[in-house]
Amino acid sequence: MANEGMKLIANNKKAYHDYFIEEKYEAGLVLHGTEVKSLRQGKCSIKESFIRIENGEMFIYGMHISPYEKGNIFNKDPLRPKKLLLHKREIMKLLGKIKEKGYTLVPLQVYFTSGRAKIEIGLAKGKKLYDKRDDIAKKDQRRESERDFKVKNL
């Protein structure tokens, strides 16, 4: 997403390696004051995080937001589950999809847009080992062809 005024905070490259991303959704994050300040400083990790739907609400687990240095007693637990804001019909649609075999919800990136913290989540299907090897081989081949092209054009 190359929106105007978008400030990227955290990216989950591992998700693209481990999953086929079929659909992407933008969700809001419910945060407390010191968490927002930490996010503005770029102190966030979503590498080991995952998303669950419970009682018609969506939560992200394992998203680490480092405590704000000047936050003292107002700091919250860095790994506490955070609620995601989506329309009810979107949550129900995703719930139907993840009940199908092999589908899951993964966080892709965290960013600010128009002063609001947003998270991009993807409806994903797990890759098999041979799919991952295929992707690595294609990436190596592309890199090699770019290198050859660069050498020829010097």
d(CA 77, CA 67): 8
* pTM to 2 decimal places: 0.73
Rg (CA), the chain: 18
The DSSP string of the chain is ---TTEEEEEE-HHHHHHEEEEEEEEEEE---HHHHHHHHTT-EE-TT-EEEEETTEEEEES-EEPPPGGGGGGPPPTT--EEEE--HHHHHHHHHHHTSTTEEEEEEEEEEETTEEEEEEEEEEEPPHHHHHHHHHHHHHHHHHHHHHHHHT-
d(CA 33, CA 68): 10
pLDDT tops 60 at residue 3: no
pLDDT tops 70 at residue 2: no
Tell me which of 6-10, 74-78, 144-148, 149-153 is least confident: 74-78
The model's confidence at residue 1, banded by pLDDT at 50, 70 and 90, is very low
**CA distances for 145 relative to 52, 80, 132, 134, 154, angstroms:** 41, 45, 20, 17, 15
At 86-143, the pLDDT tens digits run 899 988 888 888 887 778 888 988 888 888 888 999 888 877 777 778 888 888 888 8
